[in-house]
Structure 1
Amino acid sequence: MLNNLRHYIYDLLIDKGWSVTSAKYLNMLALLVALLLIAFIVDFISKRILWRFFSGVAKQTKTNFDDILVKNKLPRNIAHIIPLIILIEFVPQVFSDFVNAEDIIEKTLKVIAIILTLRIIKSLLNSVKDYLKTLPRYKDKPVDSYIQVFMIFAWLLGIFSIFAIITGISFLKFATTLGAASAVILLIFKDTILGFVASIQVSINDMVRIGDWITFEKYAADGDVTEINLATVKVQNWDKTITTIPTYALISDSFKNWRGMKASGGRRIKRSVIIKASSIHFLTKDDVERFKKIELVSTYLENRSKEIDKHNSDANVDKSVLINGRNLTNFGVFRKYLQTYIENHSAINKDMTLMVRQLASTPQGIPMEIYAFSSDQRWENYEYIMADIFDHVLAAVKYFDLQIYELAVPTID
């Protein structure tokens, strides 16, 4: 049909007195305008039809995958295929009198076809990525990395095809030629290749998931993982700043993942107070009677005192000197008090390790450490629980005739 129209316009121009060359140019321009107009109209109609079709299907189906396809403009990109096919089919007839121009236009249209194919693939892969992220089992997986790998391969194939079309070399021969330059290609895409390998290892070994809290001292990262892709891992720190870490660093360097803590049902409290050694002493009978008024250790002191008195009596110990025989100390009773206090605390997980221990002495004094796990793992609540416990500990020290070490700062007269 277009060929008949071309002859008709050409004969009409010749009859009107136009020269052969001018008639050819005007004929080509008229046909080109007509072809572009047809392609534009077809493209507009195709987009409307496909958009309505996909939107209608999306509303009727239960899955949200088709909604995501529409959101990522897949119907719109597919609609461009029909007018592009029309252009490729009829361009040779439009430029039949201009061989050189016909070759350039055909190559250009083929390049556009490759780019359109890549856009369709990108829309489809982005839709798959967005859909997988809506599924609970894929929410914490590095889906972005795999999508990026597919897109890199697609773009490489696309670029190779474009160069093959422009140069007129067959795709296979062009790819073989590039094989000789593989060392250079590996150097250019070193980070991408490392990131790809790292992404696979991270996923297979389940080292990091989106949403994990990680601490990476080398990169000053301390917060939740928000994104894992081919090249980088993004961490939102607790101060709301974003730290970007190379993906391959997750397998080449050491970092801390707090996921185990979250899954355990508790968050560790490991803090101590330093007691002045000079305030530690044996308890006299009067001290014991006074301490029995403290409810959390009254039963312990009652039973322990009877046991010690019996032992000293059986051993005929001279108690005129307090150090002789077995004795209670204010430090030991304080440790027992803290142990009982922690065991009865409502915010402590009783199914996990729970102890109060005496650490090795330091030049400042003797550390008394509480080692336990809070039942609430949320940071703000965890800090509140720990502060509440040590508020009580610090206030309780004086009731056992103990003193907390404080560094004396010399004053300048």
Structure 2
Amino acid sequence: MREQIRDLGGYLANYFIEQGMDVDLAHFLNMLINIAVVSVLWYVIHYITKKLVLTSFQNFTNKTKTTFDDYLVKSNFPRYVSNILPLLLLILTIPVVFEDYPKLLNIFEKLVDIYIIVLIVFICRSLLRTTTEYMKRHERYHDKPIESYTQVLMIVFWAIGFMFIFSEITGRSIVGFLFTLGAASAVILLIFKDTILGFVASIQVSVNDIVRIGDWITFSKYGADGFVTEINLATVRVQNWDNTYTTIPTYNLISDSFHNWRGMQESPGRRIKRSLNIKQNSIRFVNDEDIEKFEEFGLIAPYIKERQEEINTYNQKLGINKKHLINGRHQTNLGVFRQYALSYLKSHPKIHQEMTMMVRHLAPTTQGIPIEIYCFSADKRWEFYEAITADIFDHLIAAVPYFDLQLFESPSGDDIIKALKPLQLN
């Protein structure tokens, strides 16, 4: 093709000269005509190649079972590849078209070289995007911060590309360019500080398995409370429970403290830890009438009988004076209630019976004595977990009066008015 264009150019130049045109003007017109011919050829070849490559690749993709080639199409890989043949046409024809104009030839050759560099970078970017999307579909990689590594590689590719472009434009070697960068390394580190910190953090996050995509995290500093949807080089994206999004700098996952709920998600149960505050002046020893009543409560009847027999044996052995309940050993209504609450948890079908379960007595406070329920829900889903927790405490709150106990509650306005009413009547 180069010979045909050269022959055509020579014929046209001679023709213009024979017609009495100035030699330089004849060669200039010849160059313009050659540019027009090459441009038409380039457009036609580019159009045909693009159609053929895209159609062929689409047909090939439809016939294969793998999804990798589908992602290649989405990332425009065939479109970039279709530019290779028209590019070869430019490489072959430019030296012929600008044969008599060395300066223009040098400029266009540099432009073509820059185009080649940019095209290679775009092809590499397309392959990286395809690989990233393909790996995300695999169970092994779907929760890994692959985006971070992809972005780092893209920065490397673009950096190399810019170095070659700089070398093409200035005519300086890449080694000299690197020496110049070395001298300006302090400025570069300052400019790319966040990127470098993000890259280091993303590696630490991945290696130490601190956060995965899909983890539920709570980061109070940034108001984040929800699932991690994306881990990038610079930021971590969290979808909150109200469907808003919060972005957190990746480096802050290393430098600051946050709450990751993955352990709960992977465990067989979700913890329930909540207290009931009992009024201290409602706690007392139980008498024989109370014992008879408690023995009618199915959940604790065996316990009451066994426990009372043990206490009676102890008191008889030591000859305890039973006139005053403070002498010897006696059950309390609060102790019986704690046992009832524990028995209720053990009988509850939605409480995990193989995990820690207890009803514990905490230190007294100004709001009464906290009786803490500590157990694990067998269903970890939020809405069901809350329903189970509510069901347990609904029952226990309703059961408190049966043990002659009272729950602590700060007085409201109505309580104060009721207390003052007798005084007003007097």
Q: 1:164 aligns with which of 164, 167, 171?
A: 167
In structure 1, what is the equivalent of residue 112 of structure 2?
A: 109
* Separation in 1, partners of 2:362, 2:45: 82
The answer on 1:342 being equivalent to 2:339 is no
* Separation in 2, partners of 1:257, 1:141: 15
* Separation in 2, partners of 1:323, 1:4: 123
In structure 1, what is the equivalent of residue 219 of structure 2?
A: 216
The answer on 1:121 being equivalent to 2:124 is yes
Q: How do 1:28-39 and structure 2 match up within 5 A?
A: 28-39=31-42
In structure 1, what is the equivalent of residue 70 of structure 2?
A: 67
Could you tell me which amino acid in structure 2 is paired with residue 301 of structure 1? I
* Separation in 2, partners of 1:97, 1:83: 23
How far is 1:107 from its partner? 1.4
The answer on 1:228 being equivalent to 2:231 is yes
Cα deviation 1:237-280 (Å, max 9, x = unaligned)? 11111111111111111112111111111111000010000111
* Separation in 1, partners of 2:53, 2:7: 32
Please state whether the residue corresponding to 2:151 is helix, strand or coil: helix
How far is 1:98 from its partner? 2.5
In structure 1, what is the equivalent of residue 385 of structure 2?
A: 382
Please state whether the residue corresponding to 2:247 is helix, strand or coil: strand
Q: How do 1:62-211 and structure 2 match up within 5 A?
A: 62-211=65-214
How far is 1:187 from its partner? 1.2
How far is 1:55 from its partner? 2.3
Cα deviation 1:174-228 (Å, max 9, x = unaligned)? 2222221111111111111111111111111111110011111222211100001
Residues 53-62 or 340-349, more deviating: 53-62
Give the alignment's Cα RMSD to 1 decimal.
1.5
* Separation in 2, partners of 1:17, 1:231: 68
The answer on 1:279 being equivalent to 2:282 is yes
The answer on 1:353 being equivalent to 2:356 is yes
* Separation in 1, partners of 2:181, 2:295: 87
Q: How do 1:291-302 and structure 2 match up within 5 A?
A: 291-302=294-305
The answer on 1:52 being equivalent to 2:50 is no
* Separation in 2, partners of 1:380, 1:4: 81
In structure 1, what is the equivalent of residue 246 of structure 2?
A: 243
Q: Name stretches of at least 5 consecutive residues in structure 2 with no aligned partner.
A: 421-426
The answer on 1:400 being equivalent to 2:398 is no
In structure 1, what is the equivalent of residue 423 of structure 2?
A: none
How far is 1:172 from its partner? 2.0
How far is 1:124 from its partner? 0.5
How far is 1:323 from its partner? 1.3
Cα deviation 1:21-70 (Å, max 9, x = unaligned)? 33223211211111111111111222222223322332333221111111
* Separation in 2, partners of 1:189, 1:105: 34
Q: Name stretches of at least 5 consecutive residues in structure 1 with no aligned partner.
A: none
Could you tell me which amino acid in structure 1 is paired with residue 319 of structure 2? N
Please state whether the residue corresponding to 1:138 is helix, strand or coil: coil
Normalising by structure 1, what TM-score? 0.97
How far is 1:395 from its partner? 0.8
Number of equivalent positions: 413
How far is 1:284 from its partner? 0.8
Please state whether the residue corresponding to 1:349 is helix, strand or coil: coil
The answer on 1:257 being equivalent to 2:260 is yes
Cα deviation 1:71-121 (Å, max 9, x = unaligned)? 211011011011112112211211223222222222122111111111111
Please state whether the residue corresponding to 1:137 is helix, strand or coil: coil
